[in-house]
Structure formats: structure tokens, C-alpha cells
């Protein structure tokens, strides 16, 4: 007579991998990412609801989301890396390239555009030799655009790091960037 299969899970089947631990054969992650994970990432509950909070925490600490950070999150939550990457790429708040030491954001919303922000960002792109969304090769500055800061009365609005700059022009922005304390010599 055949005996029914036991419903009691074997010890082997019930053994769980420690959250975040690399499986045998998995490569080690970037040291900076491992430091972030050990210091704060590992404290997040290992459920799918942690994906966005973990992505936000990693970006807040690392400045962007390197592939290894998404890998660490996927390992911790025991989900496919593609799932974490898919969630991250869905939201505009996440960045996937290392930001420059300074960040200039030009508003290209209607109020700013009609007051010249289109030309302003074009001139900045030409001057810095990067496109919007990129960082200069020396890591000095990242250039970005937004569709409205909600400060249309100050148009055209630009932010430099945490500073809001009102009514900017190509000339005024060139001068401001040249005067950033750690500006490379060629920009002085």
C-alpha cells in the first residue's frame, strides 16, 4: 500500500536563507552598497512593501541607485532583481547615474519657458557639453530640468543645489556656475 506523502515539511525544505545574504556563487556587491545595506537596508522588513522605501533610502544615502543597490534590495526581499528595477524605473524620483557634486535644475514649464528657459537650458547644455539629465565628465555638475517648481512668479527659475535662483539668464547662470567654490579651473 502506498503511504500518503507527509505534509510535514522536511528540515531541509524549511531552512531559510538569511535575508540579504548572498547565495553561494553570487558575486559580492559594491563596498559602498554593502555598507549602506549593513547600516540601514537590512533593517527593512523583508516584504514587497519595502521595495519603494528601500529604494528611497538607498538613493538618499548613495545619491543615486547603482545596479548593486537594486541587487541588494532584491536579495533582501528574495524577489527577482528585474522586479526591483522595474519599480525603480517606473518612478521619476529615482536616478540611475551618479550625480555631480552640484546639481542645476532648470524649470522648462510654460511660465518659465515663455520667459526664456528654453534658450537658457540650451545654452547651458552647449556650455557644459552635456545634455539635460547628464553629468559633466569631471563629476562637477549635473544638469536637469523640471516641468514646474510651483514658483512661476520667479520665472525663469533655476535651482543650484538647495538654492532657488529667480529670473535667470544664460549669462547670469554662466557667472554663477563659474563662481561655485570648487569649479574646475577651465570654468573660472
Q: Which residues bind ligand FES (CB under 6 A)?
A: 107, 109-112, 148-149, 151-152, 155, 157
How far apart CA 148 and CA 152 sit, in angstroms, is 7
CB nearer ligand FES, residue 56 or residue 167: 167
Q: How far does CA 105 lie from the centroid of its chain?
A: 15
CB of 44 to ligand FES, least distance (A): 35
CA-CA-CA-CA dihedral for 137, 165, 169, 116, to nearest 10: 100
How far apart CA 72 and CA 166 sit, in angstroms, is 41
CB of 116 to ligand FES, least distance (A): 11
How far apart CA 18 and CA 57 sit, in angstroms, is 21
CB nearer ligand FES, residue 65 or residue 107: 107
CB of 50 to ligand FES, least distance (A): 34
CA atoms within 13 A on the CB side of 112: 29
* CB of 79 closer than 8 Å to CB of 48: yes
- Residue number, nearest CB to ligand FES: 109
CB nearer ligand FES, residue 140 or residue 149: 149
CB of 120 to ligand FES, least distance (A): 11
CB nearer ligand FES, residue 111 or residue 160: 111
Amino acid at each position: 500500500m502506498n503511504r500518503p506523502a507527509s505534509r510535514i515539511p522536511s528540515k531541509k525544505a524549511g531552512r531559510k536563507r538569511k535575508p540579504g545574504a548572498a547565495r553561494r556563487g553570487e558575486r559580492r556587491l559594491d563596498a559602498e552598497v554593502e555598507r549602506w545595506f549593513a547600516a540601514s537596508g537590512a533593517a527593512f522588513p523583508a516584504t514587497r512593501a519595502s521595495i519603494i522605501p528601500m529604494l528611497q533610502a538607498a538613493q538618499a544615502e548613495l545619491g543615486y541607485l547603482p545596479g548593486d543597490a537594486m541587487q541588494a534590495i532584491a536579495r533582501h526581499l528574495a524577489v527577482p532583481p528585474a522586479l526591483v528595477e522595474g519599480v525603480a524605473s517606473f518612478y521619476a524620483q529615482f536616478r540611475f547615474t551618479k550625480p555631480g557634486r552640484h546639481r542645476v535644475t532648470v524649470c522648462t514649464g510654460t511660465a518659465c519657458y515663455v520667459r526664456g528657459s528654453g534658450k537658457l537650458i540650451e545654452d547651458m547644455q552647449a556650455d557644459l557639453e552635456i545634455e539635460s539629465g547628464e553629468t559633466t565628465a569631471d563629476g562637477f555638475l549635473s544638469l536637469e530640468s523640471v516641468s514646474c517648481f510651483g514658483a512661476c512668479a520667479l520665472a525663469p527659475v533655476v535651482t543650484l543645489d538647495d538654492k532657488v535662483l529667480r529670473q535667470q539668464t544664460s549669462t547670469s547662470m554662466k557667472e554663477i556656475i563659474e563662481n561655485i567654490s570648487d569649479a574646475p579651473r577651465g570654468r573660472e
